Structure 1
């Protein structure tokens, strides 16, 4: 490895290959790809460490040459020729060779021009030099960065990386610490370490049993012992004779190497698991590798994009971080102890130590939260500047009459939330308030008072629910109240008959109809309100952004009240509803009893059946909920259809057992629910369609099959279907799972009735995207931030954003911050924020 390659022969081989159409020509001794692989196996002694890595990489690339496409071969040949020129020009005594090299390269460049217009034209050396890191711009395409090039740039587009800025902000998902250097005798399984030693022997071979598996075996020694290391290469291209010989020459006996990896124990003793290895000039030589002897970044990857390629590309563009302007005012950085943006970017990729990595991560997590909160608060401020919403009367005859007909007294929490709402409604600024309340806390009564405030002020109201079952439940309850108040209310769903639908449309347009309850049918074009003043949206996270927008467009800046029976942890509420005013009904009505909750195994099923028989004998009713409609071939789960047959024929033949699931028509659902409500059916077997909307105070048992398959918040919602009357109620969580995680989750339900605590635990155990029962919930797509681990950073980010908006709401004095907000907020939320 001490002699330099024959530059002229290399350039001539490249030129001839280009002239003959990149066909991997066969020479007297070798194919073109084998010759290049062998040639690049001879590392020149007069090149820099960075050039040495790139030179060695060329050997691997030419080993794969037969498998490359025509375009990839063209790029590789051009890149190799250009690289050789650069080395020649930087080497002493290269003047005599340069003329021949340039002539060869120019011939090859001309050949490239003859290719179809879609093939990129190879740049001259002077053009390429203008793209080196020292002259990088943040918006420069990665393909124009000399150390990356068109071919690697093409691979990086698979990760949606197109510019230098994209790559700088492509954060690692983890880091591996190889910074600790040890002797061979000090190795302990489970540690990540680096060792330096001398190669005792090297062997590289394709296995006889599998011709697609090639193994490199090295025996390394130091003053304390010896170790055998193996690297595995899967694929036909690695069985190439030239590639294997080049690899063996790189790791010649007597060479000094550094190796990093995870220490594992196998039948031969301790080893490093598929280690990273670099050849050193001497034992005290500096380790130049991106993967060895340091904290190594681990990036999110996709098929066909190797980790080393991303690390090398990041290293190439990292100097451009110096051009970054920090939009965050220094007063904010100092107040919250945040490092500068340039340092954060540098240390999130290649940190000097763990402290630098943590400081970098904290700053970048802050940024993700901060710009989201800043966008929320700016939108809320803009909304508050609107002064053309309906002014609704906070007091009046209708509200007084409604409070008189209620058979119960409002709780303090309900009264507090009602006051918040009525204060909002008497302002010309449109209300945008979220009411959170646990199951059974009385959110509907609060919404009715808001609707009555609109009606008594001469406006109409609309209430939209996500399912027909829930819409019908709201309608049934509202009709009973509105009839006593002599107010009209109608229900509009997909099942509404055409004649009735036309009647509703007509009454809406004349203003005759005060309140319309419905599903997404409310947002259809024929629905036109005469004077819409208030929109109530129940379980709003179940609606899409555009659905909510279309409903709001039915009026001119209507007030908006959203409700959810899914308690949301504060951190989740900030990131999902950061532009809303939030009220919580954190008190249950008097008389509501705690629901006895227990997790049972299959062996205890008969105990559950005995409890059900006792409750039905007392005149009570039972829910049995399952996750599936029909039996799944892949999952061993009890299905609703099969369980209904099993219970009605084998277990409870003396009782009436109903079946309810989402595939039934609205008429069929109504029939089943009405039969259960009238106690004609004692047991109802259902999927989670029962989760919201079915209110039967006589039901006292909720039995949930395969409970481990549900989220905690969903289980809590299901549990809330019982305990609505004066009798003691039970929730039986049936689970055959013995995993610690499943047991831990079900224990939370056994120990707590607090929906907000349960939601917090659900978020910690399963992640925020699952708490809402849907991944399409409008959550921001964070690259680094975790709503579970970074709650403290989220809070200070919210505080900082509030201070900024308070001082300069339009960010007129902070143009850099506004520009970054425009870019970040749209990218983070996909331009889809609308509450």
Structure 2
């Protein structure tokens, strides 16, 4: 079977060559066929030296007229200059900076050479630098290629010639033994796309009449045929995960009267968007299978109180809630908010962090294991093996993109607890073995009727204040239900944003001091802790010391990642209590810090931060009823990308518009924080470029899953492999 044939079946692939191919992610012949060219060279016709033009890659033939060694600078290695001449007298110079003396001797006068390379215009006229060369017999010239020549992605020690030889063998086998066209005919007919094998042959060996401009833009039908298959396969995996979750048992958590008690005690009313999302969550929690819901909400939209109401529903049903935050600052803020809301309802709230002393940590762990602590808040400390939940029913993950896949999966698995209603002692519990796979649970089974031997998965509520573009959310989180809080609390005013050169820094400082004298609180954000001339970034410590030295009446606090947790907490609490006028900080305050009186934000060296980070930082102000302002200071000169980012920040406060631009600029891996995890890695598809195919891919993925297509397993083997294991984390 061609698809699974090992690469060692190809001529020329030994152990060393195989190791290099593995570095490129190539393991079987099918992988080689899906290793597409980066670009193409047109060696199908010769261009006379008389007709050369700068900037083009051309195939040229000429007679060696002379060769010389020359050096342009003292101490530099000689370069080899070879002059080719046409019958008309027109000339082309070949320049080689790296060459062997024996190579120079090859260019004897009168020899005929065929070269391919980019034509440049220099003081010597037209020239090529390090072209590919072939000495030919003019009486029996070699035939020209009848297809465009592909240039493949490669790695050190594996040259284009070696890779081309392997491709030729693989394509010859493809012609004899075509790959299975796994997409059903209705898909190909509806989308009007070619067969898989025709697409592969076209892309590896495009003919001169093929539209190379379409191929360069990734708009050729052959490319789109592969893109749609890859996207469909990815969506199939997500749809199967969604189906799998529906078969797992979760505790049914009925609506709680305590939710109404909290709502009536709040000094504000929920927005319609919050109410809508809360109803969706409450409905999910009452089901016998795990909720898998992603809640998106722009900065300040009120996700935390919605999570608190979900926690009440779980706690009142007798289950524990784990709330995971990416930073200690945000975790402590959640602790304060949840304690204020839940303690009056007799729901015990506790937390874990990495800096607790041993005795306190033992006490907290015992609280969690006994079940006395109903709501547990923490950072990565919740991942530790020592953390044993008694009856985990709900996991809330805040700013999920900041956690690695394996971390999220680790916390999720802590809920795989055996349900032992009526078990008399722990020894009985130890005898019950958790099955390898989740068993299907009858629709009417609830937590009270569970028997020994069954186990449950916790419900998952995943939250992000970094809005995710629709097509990206569908592709990355297609196994989750999506809720959007698309409304800000009433009274919130848009933040006025200005972009200023760093030359205005002193004036901005004076303006800030004047505002603080009027009762305003302000942030001054620096991206680095220490001075760095290389990055032209002012350090937080230097800036704080400047304010203290020049404005002695200004109450200044400093916070950065190197401070111990206790110090951070002291500074933040002082700022919240308005015991400080100015908080100088690094980007450690990016997420979750909530001080309603703070209405002025200065971000220094803003050109060095991404759109999502700038939007999150700006969201630390604008949380009260005052008009808030944000100043983005930049260090000239600005790159085109940095200029575009700052203009977007100045033009809009809408996080969803900003997210779309962020996707366009940075790409999906960086936007989701999965760049290092590989969870959203595509071989051919690119969500920035191919977003128009996402809806079609979802439609046909559902079709394949619903019809139980036998092609699903083969599609996943071809495109996804083992990556599917972590998609649901």
What TM-score does the superposition give when structure 1 sets the normalisation length? 0.76
Instruction: Report the CA distance between 1:174 and its aligned residue.
Output: 3.0
Among 688, 706, 720, the alignment partner of 1:825 is 720
Instruction: Report the CA distance between 1:397 and its aligned residue.
Output: 1.4
Matched, 1:393 2:254: yes
Partners of 2:75 and 2:152 in 1: CA distance? 30
Among 264, 268, 271, the alignment partner of 2:127 is 271
Partners of 1:737 and 1:799 in 2: CA distance? 47
Could you list the per-position Cα deviations for residues 332-385 of structure 1 after superposition, in whole angstroms to 9, with x for gaps in the alignment? 122222222212222222222236842222122223222211111111111112
3-state SS, counterpart of residue 296 of structure 2: strand
Could you list the per-position Cα deviations for residues 303-354 of structure 1 after superposition, in whole angstroms to 9, with x for gaps in the alignment? 2322232223222322122322222222212222222221222222222223
**Structure-2 residue corresponding to 1:340:** 195
**Structure-2 residue corresponding to 1:834:** 728
Instruction: Report the CA distance between 1:586 and its aligned residue.
Output: 1.0
Among 21, 32, 39, the alignment partner of 1:167 is 32
Is the 1:661–1:687 Cα contact (8 Å) retained in structure 2?
Answer: yes
Among 149, 156, 180, the alignment partner of 1:303 is 156
3-state SS, counterpart of residue 684 of structure 1: strand
Could you list the per-position Cα deviations for residues 674-697 of structure 1 after superposition, in whole angstroms to 9, with x for gaps in the alignment? 111111111111111111132111
Is the 1:597–1:750 Cα contact (8 Å) retained in structure 2?
Answer: yes
The aligned runs of 1:398-409 (5 Å cut-off) are 398-409=258-269
For residues 656 and 193 of structure 1, do their structure 2 counterparts lie closer, same or farther at Cα, with a shift above 3 Å needed? Answer: same
Partners of 1:758 and 1:410 in 2: CA distance? 25
3-state SS, counterpart of residue 391 of structure 1: coil
Which structure shows the bigger proportion of residues in helix conformation?
1
Instruction: Report the CA distance between 1:749 and its aligned residue.
Output: 0.1
Q: Indicate the structure (1 or 2) with the bigger Cα radius of gyration.
A: 1
Is the 2:10–2:166 Cα contact (8 Å) retained in structure 1?
Answer: no
Instruction: Report the CA distance between 1:655 and its aligned residue.
Output: 0.5
Among 181, 185, 190, the alignment partner of 1:330 is 185
Is the 2:479–2:728 Cα contact (8 Å) retained in structure 1?
Answer: no
Instruction: Report the CA distance between 1:797 and its aligned residue.
Output: 1.7
Matched, 1:369 2:231: yes
**Structure-1 residue corresponding to 2:430:** none
The aligned runs of 1:578-597 (5 Å cut-off) are 578-597=478-497
Is the 1:541–1:777 Cα contact (8 Å) retained in structure 2?
Answer: no
3-state SS, counterpart of residue 90 of structure 2: strand
Could you list the per-position Cα deviations for residues 616-673 of structure 1 after superposition, in whole angstroms to 9, with x for gaps in the alignment? 12211110111111123532211112222122213x3320111101111111101111
Among 590, 597, 605, the alignment partner of 1:698 is 597
Query: Higher RCO, 1 or 2 (CA under 8 Å, sep at least 6)?
Result: 2
Matched, 1:768 2:633: no
Could you list the per-position Cα deviations for residues 140-182 of structure 1 after superposition, in whole angstroms to 9, with x for gaps in the alignment? 4445533666775565455344543332222223334555754
3-state SS, counterpart of residue 505 of structure 2: helix
**Structure-1 residue corresponding to 2:627:** 728
Instruction: Report the CA distance between 1:807 and its aligned residue.
Output: 2.1
3-state SS, counterpart of residue 175 of structure 1: strand
Matched, 1:477 2:341: no
RMSD (Å), alpha carbons? 2.7
Q: Name structure 1 gaps, 5 residues minimum.
A: 1-135
**Structure-2 residue corresponding to 1:601:** 501
For residues 325 and 202 of structure 1, do their structure 2 counterparts lie closer, same or farther at Cα, with a shift above 3 Å needed? Answer: farther
Is the 1:482–1:488 Cα contact (8 Å) retained in structure 2?
Answer: yes
The aligned runs of 1:5-154 (5 Å cut-off) are 137-146=2-11
Partners of 1:523 and 1:699 in 2: CA distance? 34
Identify which range, 720-729 or 365-374, moves more after superposition.
Answer: 365-374
Matched, 1:786 2:686: yes
3-state SS, counterpart of residue 424 of structure 1: helix
Partners of 2:676 and 2:17 in 1: CA distance? 34
Is the 2:537–2:605 Cα contact (8 Å) retained in structure 1?
Answer: yes
Q: How many residue pairs end up in the alignment?
A: 678
Matched, 1:379 2:273: no
The aligned runs of 1:678-757 (5 Å cut-off) are 678-739=577-638, 740-757=640-657
What TM-score does the superposition give when structure 2 sets the normalisation length? 0.87
